Amino acid sequence: MPSPESAAASPAERQTHGFQAEVRELLQLMIHSLYSHREIFLRELISNASDANDRLRFAAIGEPALLADGSELEIRIETDQAAGTLSITDNGIGMTRDEAVANLGTIARSGTAEFFRSLSGDQQRDSQLIGQFGVGFYSAFIVADRVEVLSRKAGLPAESGVHWESSANGEFTVETVTRPQRGTTVKLHLKPEAKEFADPFRLRALIRRYSDHIAFPVRMRKEGEASLEWEAVNQAKALWTRPRAEITDEEYRQFYQHLAHDFTEPLAWSHNRVEGKREYTSLLYLPGRAPFDLWQRDAAHGVKLYVRRVFIMDDAEQFLPLYLRFVKGVVDSSDLPLNVSRELLQQEPEVEAIRSGLTKRVLDTLARLAKEEPEKYATFWNEFGAVLKEGVPQDAANRPALLQLLRFASTHEPGNEPTVSLAQYVERMKPGQDRIYYLVGDSLAAARASPYIERLTQRGLEVLLLSERIDEWVMGQLMGDVDGFPGKRFKDAARGDLELGTLESEADRKHHDEELKESKGLLKRVKDAVGDRVLEVRVSTRLADSPACLVLGEHDLGAGMRRILAAAGQSVPESKPALELNVGHPLVKHLDGLGDGARFKELALILYDQAQLAEGGQLGNPAEFVQRLNRLLVELAAAPPAS
């Protein structure tokens, strides 16, 4: 309910609005289930006040008159312990009546629905999600049963103030009021059990904890409620402008939490000042966990951009390549014009230079983490490895650094954790080995058990195992010598010739030649039976325990890529595999002993179908396969038991 005085001032203009449905739901949640971490409301409201000041400073670049009634931007916090109220006041951009209606109740923020989906039921965790989803204002209702907002838009006359009020009962009211000063006051009528937040002593401690890095002074009355003097409680200096040596780790962490609205700890950060021809400061963080929208194409990403301390924009994406979209941070440039827009950023040569500098910083930070804190790096890799991989084909200039950062599961490691680096692989290569063998499977378990690598592992050769969607594409782009590893090349164990080179002994070759000679007839007969399904039938050098496998040509599209393209509705070019037979396998020997009748053809086709299944493929006609197999089994059942 609006207070009687203000209602009397302009009763005709008082309106009641219903909260938008999702907002209503959100409020219920705030009120009933999120108080385990309730002091976050202060962080959110101070953060909004700071945003409002930032936005005014930015708007005043083009329109200095907006600062006419005072250019020192600040935030004031005032309490009345007797009344149990707490007010947060900024002298920033302010809101018009329409903006207050839209921003504080009728328009659901884009993140709201996602917020609900992300809720875990764990209060501690859920309360930390609030800021991340852009629903911070409503956190006021965690501690207040009534909230008033008084605001006046910068540049508008005193009579165009707005008074917004709600008790979170599904409705809010707005009316037009006279407000002498520009900016916004959020006044909380604290719940009986939240009266502690009217205690100046408690507040000071909280402000210092959550808002030290806010670039505006957060002021409170000097000795208490009655004093006329105000004093700053926080440092009021943008953290990144301070010298590194003076900043504690705790301050860096707090700043990250403010910046990313993420209450978990960052894995690492890099704070740098570049001086000389171009000048800029950057503070970049590696988060400890992936955000909910890491894989959403249109999700916001990028750094917060400042020009000479003036906030310009959030999510400036031109400063980092897409494959580093998980990085959070601030860039403060001394060279960019203050009126720079998103469009202009795309053309600024300055931006390109900063981007390449920042990219190197991030890659250096990752390399350092990998070297000095492998456990943290493992966390990083699990959360963001698949994103970083996108850079390998995309960023040729940084490819050597990126390749060093890759981690793989491997036949030489028991677990499925990706821990093996290329450097490690190369170090334990066999003498004479110059191929880095890898295999992409549907899962790591499937890759590990795959027939394609039987002989390689039997020879003690290490095979890197991959199974992420993006892997086939990434690895397929890596032709020629591996950057940073002269003379070494990647070799897909499922394609073409294994290129064993000198790893194959004279005896091996002789044995293979003999097999070839002996099997000539068999190969031809199997090809006749299998027909056009395969390009050719040949003697395998990769199988040990399995009878057959299908092998693609070096440049054919792989099975995984085919499935992705087909799912996306694209036409996929035909590519025929070769059927390789393990001529030492009893089943193949048995086949060789059969005449050219129907039995021969059935068994040959079963081998072909099995080979398809083993590579994770789908049979053209599964029913036919089952029938064939069953006919064989019936015969087997009818045969006299072996003695």
Question: Helices 586-593 & 506-530, crossing angle to 10 degrees?
Answer: 50
Q: Measured between alpha carbons, how far is 583 from 111 in angstroms, rounded to an integer?
A: 60
Residue 490 CB neighbour total at 10 angstroms: 19
Binds 418: which of ligand ADP, Mg ion, none (CB < 5-8 Å by kind): none
Find out whether 404 and 368 touch, Cβ atoms under 8 Å.
no
Binds ligand ADP by CB under 6 A, chosen from 39, 44, 148, 383 = 44
Binds ligand ADP by CB under 6 A, chosen from 136, 217, 441, 558 = 136
What track of x and - describes contact with ligand ADP for positions 62 through 91 (by CB under 6 A)? ----------------------------x-
Binds 95: which of ligand ADP, Mg ion, none (CB < 5-8 Å by kind): ligand ADP
Regarding 23 and contact with ligand ADP (CB under 6 A), the answer is no
Residue 468 CB neighbour total at 10 angstroms: 15
Regarding 92 and contact with ligand ADP (CB under 6 A), the answer is yes
Binds ligand ADP by CB under 6 A, chosen from 60, 67, 129, 135 = 135
Structure tokens at 144: 């207040």
Whole-angstrom CA distances from 345 to 129, 188, 341, 350, 361 are 31, 41, 6, 9, 20
Structure tokens at 46: 């101070």
Regarding 476 and contact with ligand ADP (CB under 6 A), the answer is no
Regarding 139 and contact with Mg ion (CB under 5 A), the answer is no
Q: Measured between alpha carbons, how far is 329 from 361 in angstroms, rounded to an integer?
A: 12
User: What residues numbered 222-281 form the site for ligand ADP, per CB under 6 A?
Assistant: none
- Min dist CB 257 to ligand ADP, Å, is 15
Nearest partner of 109 among 213, 261, 321, 277, judged by Cα: 261
Regarding 126 and contact with ligand ADP (CB under 6 A), the answer is no
Structure tokens at 130: 């609030």
Closer Cβ to ligand ADP, 99 or 196, answer by number: 99
Look at residue 107 and give its three-state secondary structure. coil
Question: Helices 586-593 & 598-614, crossing angle to 10 degrees?
Answer: 160
Nearest partner of 402 among 367, 443, 449, 354, judged by Cα: 367
Q: Measured between alpha carbons, how far is 111 from 296 in angstroms, rounded to an integer?
A: 13
Regarding 104 and contact with ligand ADP (CB under 6 A), the answer is yes
Considering Cα of 186, then 191, then 193, then 196, what sign does the dihedral take? positive
Residue 271 CB neighbour total at 10 angstroms: 20
The letter for the amino acid at 142 is I
Binds ligand ADP by CB under 6 A, chosen from 95, 101, 220, 307 = 95
Ramachandran angles phi, psi of 422, nearest 5°: -65, -40
Regarding 48 and contact with ligand ADP (CB under 6 A), the answer is yes
Binds ligand ADP by CB under 6 A, chosen from 91, 184, 254, 257 = 184
Q: Measured between alpha carbons, how far is 252 from 112 in angstroms, rounded to an integer?
A: 28
Regarding 136 and contact with Mg ion (CB under 5 A), the answer is yes
Q: Which stretch binds Mg ion (CB under 5 A): 44-52, 305-313, 390-398, 454-462?
A: 44-52
Q: Which stretch binds Mg ion (CB under 5 A): 46-54, 278-286, 296-304, 621-629?
A: 46-54
| Range list of H helices, 477-597 | 506-530, 559-567, 586-593
Regarding 49 and contact with ligand ADP (CB under 6 A), the answer is yes
- Min dist CB 100 to ligand ADP, Å, is 8
Closer Cβ to Mg ion, 114 or 471, answer by number: 114
Regarding 93 and contact with ligand ADP (CB under 6 A), the answer is yes
Ramachandran angles phi, psi of 321, nearest 5°: -70, 160
Closer Cβ to Mg ion, 314 or 518, answer by number: 314
Regarding 526 and contact with ligand ADP (CB under 6 A), the answer is no
Regarding 40 and contact with ligand ADP (CB under 6 A), the answer is no
Regarding 48 and contact with Mg ion (CB under 5 A), the answer is yes
Tell me, by CB under 6 A, how many residues bind ligand ADP. Answer: 17
Regarding 291 and contact with ligand ADP (CB under 6 A), the answer is no
Q: Which stretch binds ligand ADP (CB under 6 A): 27-35, 45-53, 430-438, 508-516?
A: 45-53
Q: Which stretch binds ligand ADP (CB under 6 A): 44-52, 60-68, 355-363, 435-443?
A: 44-52
Question: What is the number of the residue whose Cβ is closest to Mg ion?
Answer: 136
- Min dist CB 191 to ligand ADP, Å, is 20
- Min dist CB 170 to ligand ADP, Å, is 18
Tell me, by CB under 5 A, how many residues bind Mg ion. Answer: 2
Q: For the chain, how many residues are written?
A: 643
Q: Measured between alpha carbons, how far is 526 from 373 in angstroms, rounded to an integer?
A: 55
- Min dist CB 137 to Mg ion, Å, is 6
Structure tokens at 202: 């408690």
Regarding 132 and contact with Mg ion (CB under 5 A), the answer is no
Whole-angstrom CA distances from 312 to 55, 307, 326, 565 are 8, 7, 21, 40
Binds 184: which of ligand ADP, Mg ion, none (CB < 5-8 Å by kind): ligand ADP
Binds 540: which of ligand ADP, Mg ion, none (CB < 5-8 Å by kind): none
Find out whether 531 and 587 touch, Cβ atoms under 8 Å.
no
Regarding 50 and contact with ligand ADP (CB under 6 A), the answer is no
Closer Cβ to ligand ADP, 137 or 425, answer by number: 137
364, β-bridge pairs: none
Q: Measured between alpha carbons, how far is 197 from 186 in angstroms, rounded to an integer?
A: 14
Nearest-10 Cα torsion for 130, 133, 135, 141: -10
Closer Cβ to ligand ADP, 55 or 278, answer by number: 55
Burial of residue 565 (number of CB atoms within 10 Å: 0-12, 13-18, 19+): middle
Regarding 134 and contact with ligand ADP (CB under 6 A), the answer is yes
Binds 615: which of Mg ion, ligand ADP, none (CB < 5-8 Å by kind): none
Applying CB under 5 A, which residues contact Mg ion?
A: 48, 136
Applying CB under 6 A, which residues contact ligand ADP?
A: 44, 48-49, 51-52, 90, 92-95, 103-104, 134-137, 184
